[in-house]
Structure formats: structure tokens, C-alpha cells
Amino acid sequence: MSWIDISVPLTSHLVSWPGQPGMRVRSLETMKKDACEVHDVALTTHAGTHIDAPRHFVAHTDAVDEINLDKLIGPAHVVAVKPKKGLEIQPSDLPIKQWKGIERIFFLTGDSKKLFQKQFTAQYHSLSLDAAKLLVRKGIQLVGMDYFGVEKKSNPGHPVHKALLKAGIVIVEGCDLRAVKPGVYDCIALPLRLKGLDGSPARVLLRKKIS
């Protein structure tokens, strides 16, 4: 089985979180003038498909270069979920009967298409605090979402982020799951080794696991 790249292409046209600058690219050397190509690239630590480190919301905790690599590589479950009410995913919305053996989970909500719209939208699926607490209790190590937020925009105090990050759960936001069906996959989710920083763009790959 081949790998599926679920990280979005990083371009200057990619939508960004409100208030944060988009990716900026500047040519430094060209093939015509310099016989090679070199570019200067500027982007935020949460551009495109990216990983939130605990330090993103919890002071004096692990930075992105300190995340245990074992959390980022291994079996992952892709779960289709549609909240019964509103856009927040509640524990009762999760179609998981047996949690044993599940360490990494990606939520497939149908929001991936919104990653490629010209404007940011606050109308995306996210986790409720109760759902986040359930993931903590179940020992989940990594949770991935198919839009740019694991919790609803402007949630006072960011309780969902804090609940997950304090428990050491890696958050992967902005995953393009359009070509992925529910099931069990091998997962590789690697951020840049940005020393001491709160997050990083990531290359995230899934491959259907052969039982």
C-alpha cells in the first residue's frame, strides 16, 4: 500500500488563522542569473498542516523539538464522526466501541475541503471539552483534525487545547483527509526540529495498515 500525504501544500495562497500572516516567499537566487534557485521563506509555526506542542498553551512545558518521537510514528485510527448537534464533537458522537490499542486518532469530519477555500471559516468541527477529557482518560497520544482548530474559535481560556496538551497529547491540525477512508493506518507525523518553539508545520503521512 502506498503512503497518502495528508499535509496541505504550503503556498502563499494557503488560508491562515485570522490575525496571522500567510506564508511569504522571496526569490534570492534564480537559475537565469545565478545558475541555481534559492528562496527565502517566512511562515508561522502554525502554518498549514502543523503540530501543536504543549508549550503552545502551557508555559514551561515541552517545545516542539522535545516531543517524544514515539508519539508521532505508529498505528493510527481514522474515525468518521458527525456531531448530532452543532459542530462540537461530544463523547456520545464517537463511534468507538473498543478503545484498547488506540493511541493515535484522526477525526474525519468532511472539513478538509475548507482548507482550500480562500477565506478562513469559523464553521468547522471541533472537540468539546468533554470529548477532550475522554481522549485523555483513554490514553490517546495524538489527535488529528481536518481543519485548523481542535477546538472552536475564540473558546474562552482555550480549555480543549490545555486539557490535551497538559496530558502530553500531540495535536495535529489542518490534515487533508479527503483521500482517506475510516480505518487503521500507519502514521508518520514529523514537525521541523525548531528548538524551543511552540509548534511547527509538519509532513504527515498515512498508509493503510495490512492486518
Phi, psi of 55 (to 5 degrees): -65, -15
Q: Which of 46, 56, 77, 125 is catalytic?
A: 56
Q: 3-class DSSP state for residue 120? A: coil
Handedness of CA 169, 174, 179, 181 (dihedral sign): positive
Instruction: Judge contact between 183 and 154, C-beta under 8 A.
Output: no
Cα–Cα distances in angstroms (integers) from residue 130 to residues 30, 84, 127, 136, 207, in the given order: 52, 15, 8, 10, 30
* DSSP SS3 for 91: helix
Work out whether strand 73-80 and strand 183-191 pair parallel, antiparallel, or are unpaired. antiparallel
E-assigned strand segments in 111-193: 126-127, 142-145, 170-173, 183-191
Is 125 in the active site?
no
- Beta strand 142-145 with 170-173 is parallel
* Active site (catalytic) residues: 56
